[in-house]
Amino acid sequence: AQSVTQLDSQVPVFEEAPVELRCNYSSSVSVYLFWYVQYPNQGLQLLLKYLSGSTLVKGINGFEAEFNKSQTSFHLRKPSVHISDTAEYFCAVTLSNTGKLIFGQGTTLQVKP
């Protein structure tokens, strides 16, 4: 069975500082990887996804993530955060033969002025 672990439940960071949100997954088969963001009182929105090819994936709002197969990780990074990045971030995986997303527990990113 597949599973996703987000190692940090909360990440406080000052505005304009860099941030990394960690995600590790477990699967015996190849997976596709996603990061979603949930702003307060809004629905989940796709930030980026890794399907194949280059292991460095760029997404919206200046975020990027790197797929590391040997470490089964897909960490999310941003070089300089803004107050508006304050939100809940979810890492997720799915298999090639199903659309079922398996989510991690989420990481709350709190950007302080």
> Using CB under 8 A as the criterion, which residues of the chain lie in contact with another protein when the complex forms?
4, 6, 31-32, 36, 41-46, 49, 51, 90, 92, 94-106
Min separation Cβ 31 and another protein, Å? 7
Backbone phi, psi, residue 86, to 5°: -60, 120
Residue 26 Cα distances to 12, 42, 63, 100, 103, angstroms: 26, 29, 23, 15, 12
11 forms beta bridges with 109
Least distance (Å) from another protein to the CB of residue 49? 7
> Least CB distance from residue 80 to another protein, whole Å?
26
